[in-house]
Structure 1
Amino acid sequence: MTGTRAEAAYIRSLAAFRTPTLGLLHGRHAPFVVSALTTLFSADRPAVPIADAHAEVAEALDELRAGGYDDDDRRIPAGTGREVCRTWAKQGWLVQQIDDDVEVYRLSAHAVEALEITGRTGGGRTRVSNSRVRTLLEAVERLADSAEADPIKRIVRLTAERDALDAEILRIQAEGTAPIDDEELYEEAENVLHLARELPADFTRVAESLKQMQRDVVAHLRRDERPTGEVLREYLQRARDVMQSTPEGRAFAGALRLIGDPERIDALTEQLHTLLAQPFARHMDAAQRTEFDAIGRRVELGVEEVLAAQRRASHVITGQVKTHDPLRDRQIDDLLRDVISGLHDWARTAPAAAPVDPVRSLPLIDLGRLRQSVGDVRPPGAPAPLSDADDDVEYIEGDSRAWGGPRYDELEAYVAGMDGAFDLGEAFAGAPDDTRRPVDLVGLLEIAHRNGMTEGDEVSTVETLRPDGTTRRFAFAAVTARATKEDDDD
């Protein structure tokens, strides 16, 4: 029995060390990999253009080699920055994507988890604090309350919590708030940082699960083994399962609810800034303060990463569905299989140094004779001119022109009858009903601006009349207008 248990434990350990996470931490070049990835990526820089990443890794390699670290038990990898980054991508630590037509590197979920482990290990001891134990106890209580099926027991528990809150309120009203020790507040802040460090890996795992679903759906569509509708239904069901049945999906759903409320995320950011200004924050070092201040941004970036993966998967799958041609795909697959089969047959019989003539161009199709001229694209004649006469127009259910723009002719004639300067609001109030529409007020202001007008400090209020008899009041700065335009000499 003992041997069986030891063998099972050893097999589990072997499987764990085959994962990219422990492969990164257990490798010979682990210190350099961790330091380089930590330098390349940050909360504000989740994606790095591939060319920039190659250049920055090459610069780090040159600096360390010049400093003599290359001789430190061969802990610095050989090769250029491009070769090192490609090796990391093959190991599963970097993911290549295209963002805004630019090819970038992103950290994989395994790399994020490895960096979190090294960050926690190098960030100091892990203390069994009051805050951490209380977080555990509260989580267990919430779980027990959610699992409780007896409504009487739940009511009793809620009533006890309410009584405790009421007693605490009365105590604070009578005695005031007792100051909390800075050391205890610092422990609370450490617990917040500990919880926040677990989020990026969860977000990355959700994004990678969506990418894996995208690849599976496209593969099923290309194999044409099942109807397209059935494949898409399975994709939608798996997408729902990711958000509901996994810890990573639940973390994402909770963060999405948080980001969906702008007031709540703004309140979170303000609370973090306020906490950093408290006296207990002096116990935090610069790295902890920076990490504490970036919690809100870290959550936002994680949600953006998952949403981007969702959009990218939907875009790829939609394009595949639109362009999916089973007959064409089957013909291409058959052609590729024939080429590979012919290559294998040729390789078995051809000598090792036999030259291979490349296919430099594809054969051209014979289209025959194409038309070299087209008909006259000009129209046969100009259209008949529009008529300005009103007698050939029949208006039904009233004159629709009443709902048109300003009646400039009537307004200009009305303004021309004014004597010198006049108040525009009073003039509009005295105009005929058919020129007191809202658009006519705009037209009157335009005419006043054209003739020259002066704005005062008072406010004019006018009442407009729509063609259907309804009214609407407008207020604007008092305007003194002129009946005619002033000469340039004036």
Structure 2
Amino acid sequence: MTGSRAEAAYARAVTAFSTPTLDLLHGRFAPFVVASLTLLFTADRASVAVADAHAELGEVLDELRAAGYDDDRRLPSGSGRDVCRNWVRLGWLIQQIDDDVEVYRLSAHAVAALEISGRTGGGRTRVSNSRVRTLLDAVDHLSVSAEVDPVRRLARLYDERDLLDAEIARIQETGHADPADDEELLEEAENVLHLARELPADFTRVAESLRSMQRDVVAHLRRDERPTSEVLREYLQRAQDVMQSTPEGRAFAGALRLIGDPDRIDALTEQLRGLLGRPFARMLDGAQRAELDAIGRRVEQGVEEVLAAQRRASHVITGQVKTHDPLRDRQIDDLLRDVIAGLHGWSGPATVVDPVRSMPLIDLGHLRQTTSDIRPPRAPAPLADADDVDFLDHDTRAWGGPRYAELEEYVAGLGTDFDLADAFRSVPDAARRPVDLLGLLEIAHRNGLTEGAGISTVEALRPDGTSRRFAFGAVTARSTKEDSDDE
């Protein structure tokens, strides 16, 4: 009997020490791992971008190596990127995508290890009045909740009411409340910190349970072991009710009713800030005060972490159900198995693998540029002169571009210099359109013009009989082009 009990106890201890939590705390680099994870992840920083984590951990390694801590191999080898990837493999970090950014998060094992390390190195651990009362209150609440005898249940409630009435009467009679002494309040605060340290690991454990359930759902769906209709009905239901699919999820759903209300979180934050202003709070050290102030944020971040894992699991499962293709999945599985088998074939100690020094190039030859006539294309026919263009009717030409021929002939008879505005006012109505004003300005610019200080105003006529006024700087133009020497 003694041997069986000893063997069972030893087996439980072996199992416990094989978990990533105790593996982290009892490894050769445990102090470095705990210190680095504490620096990277804080109450206000639940996730770190992969690139940032690699750079920051590299700086930590460089500083510690420069300080001489690597003399007796107390630091791991490699870069920050190598160390982070090893921690992912050991189960201390979780790598995932958040808002299209690849990030690291602490696993539940790492959170628990940091909590144990912080509690052990955070000072004294004592059997305080506050901690014992918390235990007794919890047992009493459990006993009341499990009570089935209505007489006993009423008796307990009457006793509680009598105590409350007596306290109310005392305060009304004396006019003031007597707070507990500072030593007792300090014990209460330490108990609160002790309870709060366990929350991050609990939240992370729920999120990991949801991610594990997500992988299980997708794996079962890809195996296609049952009729598709049955698989769809079951897993669509699990996607809609993912929080009820695991024991941790069901427990969190119950806790969410207490702490999921934003008003309750705000009230908790205000209470904590009020406590930090009390005289007893000066007896806490700086780390304890910061930890007490961060409890509200930790609770809020933990709730958001679990809800984000729930949304992600629902999205992945629903997407897999919608795109489920058993034939394609089997082809991908076969291909992956072939690749893994090939890699195992290369992993032998005597295996020689020729390196790929350059990627092969495909020989495409000469591709045809056309699909019809293989003869080279001919040059396009020259453009016809404007005089050779046949318009459908008079209205079509009226809405066309400037009448350059008529305008040039008109300008040629104006003498050496002329005012462009006066010249435009004298143009026949058919050539006094807005576009003809632009044409006249173009001809004047080509022949040579001088800009004056005044402003000229003209009225142009559209083909539909409407008019429009234009204003521009006064221009004196020439009727013929200036000589090149003058230019």
Name the TM-score, length of structure 1 as normaliser. Answer: 0.68
Deviations 1:82-126 (A, max 9, x none): 111111111100000111111111000000000000111111111
- Aligned with 2:70: secondary structure? helix
Match of 1:259 in 2: 260
- Give the distance between the partners of 2:124 and 2:180, measured in 1 at CA: 23
The residue type equivalent to 1:119 in the other structure is G
Q: Which structure has the greater CA radius of gyration?
A: 2
The residue type equivalent to 1:174 in the other structure is E
Deviations 1:350-389 (A, max 9, x none): x95576999969999xxxxx999xxxxxxxxxxxxxxxxx
The residue type equivalent to 1:152 in the other structure is V
Q: How many equivalent pairs are there?
A: 361
Q: Does 1:66 align with 2:66?
A: yes
Distance 1:263 1:363, change over 3 A: farther
1:196: Cα distance to partner? Answer: 0.8
1:153: Cα distance to partner? Answer: 1.1
1:57: Cα distance to partner? Answer: 1.0
| Equivalent pair of 1:265/1:296 in contact (CA under 8 Å) | yes
Match of 2:155 in 1: 156
Match of 1:125 in 2: 124
- Once the two structures are superposed, the pairs formed by residues 79-478 of structure 1 within 5 Å of their partners are 79-175=78-174, 176-226=176-226, 227-233=231-237, 239-242=243-246, 245-246=247-248, 249-251=250-252, 253-260=254-261, 262-334=262-334, 353=352
| Equivalent pair of 1:206/1:249 in contact (CA under 8 Å) | no
| Equivalent pair of 1:49/1:104 in contact (CA under 8 Å) | yes
The residue type equivalent to 2:46 in the other structure is P
Question: Greater CA deviation, 264-273 or 185-194?
Answer: 264-273
- Give the distance between the partners of 2:145 and 2:185, measured in 1 at CA: 29
| Equivalent pair of 2:240/2:314 in contact (CA under 8 Å) | no
- Aligned with 1:70: secondary structure? coil
Name the TM-score, length of structure 2 as normaliser. Answer: 0.68
Q: Does 1:26 align with 2:26?
A: yes
Structure 2 segments unaligned to the other structure (5+ residues): 365-369, 373-487
- Give the distance between the partners of 1:41 and 1:347, measured in 2 at CA: 39
The residue type equivalent to 1:79 in the other structure is G
Deviations 1:249-275 (A, max 9, x none): 535632453232x33222211111111
| Equivalent pair of 1:218/1:320 in contact (CA under 8 Å) | yes
1:27: Cα distance to partner? Answer: 0.5
- Give the distance between the partners of 2:112 and 2:344, measured in 1 at CA: 47
- Aligned with 1:78: secondary structure? coil
Root-mean-square deviation (CA, aligned residues, Å) is 3.0
Deviations 1:420-471 (A, max 9, x none): xxxxxxxxxxxxxxxxxxxxxxxxxxxxxxxxxxxxxxxxxxxxxxxxxxxx
Between the two proteins, what is the percent identity of the paired residues? 67
| Equivalent pair of 1:43/1:294 in contact (CA under 8 Å) | yes
Distance 1:339 1:178, change over 3 A: closer
1:130: Cα distance to partner? Answer: 1.3
| Equivalent pair of 1:217/1:232 in contact (CA under 8 Å) | no
| Equivalent pair of 1:89/1:96 in contact (CA under 8 Å) | yes
Deviations 1:287-345 (A, max 9, x none): 1111111111000000010011011111111111111112322344445556777x599
- Aligned with 1:69: secondary structure? coil
| Equivalent pair of 1:207/1:306 in contact (CA under 8 Å) | yes
| Equivalent pair of 2:88/2:95 in contact (CA under 8 Å) | yes
- Give the distance between the partners of 2:291 and 2:76, measured in 1 at CA: 30
